[in-house]
């Protein structure tokens, strides 16, 4: 069964679109931003490259690690008061994907909070 020129063109366009989406993803192009950061321009967090920002970039808006620990003091355990010290924010938080609790790499905490 031969494809008509219209179906061939449609198929080719679909393959190209899928390839382009995959290439953008592989190149580190971000997907949509989650949560309250969604309205910020990319340059707020990404200075020169589209890589995860350093902890200092996050803290420049969110305050010191001590202030973050105060804001999450009612959580048990407090993820910002860790025996591992001041971890990189992106170890748990992701603006472009699903965030995770790094503590659960070794522990089994059940923390339910917004991030």
Distance CA 109, CA 98 (A): 17
Distance CA 64, CA 46 (A): 19
Closest CA to 101 of 37, 87, 45, 63: 87
| Domain positions in the chain | 52-99
Q: What is the pTM of this model?
A: 0.68
Distance CA 6, CA 88 (A): 51
Encode pLDDT of 37-69 as tens digits. 999 999 999 988 888 999 999 999 999 999 999
Distance CA 61, CA 56 (A): 9
Q: Which of 4-13, 16-25, 86-95 is predicted least confidently?
A: 16-25
């Amino acid at each position: 069964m031969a494809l008509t020129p219209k179906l061939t063109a449609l198929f080719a366009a679909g393959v190209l679109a899928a390839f382009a989406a995959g290439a953008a993803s592989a190149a580190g192009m971000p997907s949509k931003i989650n949560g309250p950061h969604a309205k910020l321009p990319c340059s707020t967090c990404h200075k020169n490259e589209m890589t995860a920002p350093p902890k200092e970039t996050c803290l420049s808006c969110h305050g010191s690690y001590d202030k973050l620990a105060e804001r999450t003091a009612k959580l048990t355990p407090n993820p910002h008061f860790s025996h591992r010290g001041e971890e990189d924010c992106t170890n748990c938080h992701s603006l472009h994907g699903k965030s995770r609790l790094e503590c659960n790499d070794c522990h089994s905490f059940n923390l339910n909070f917004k991030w």
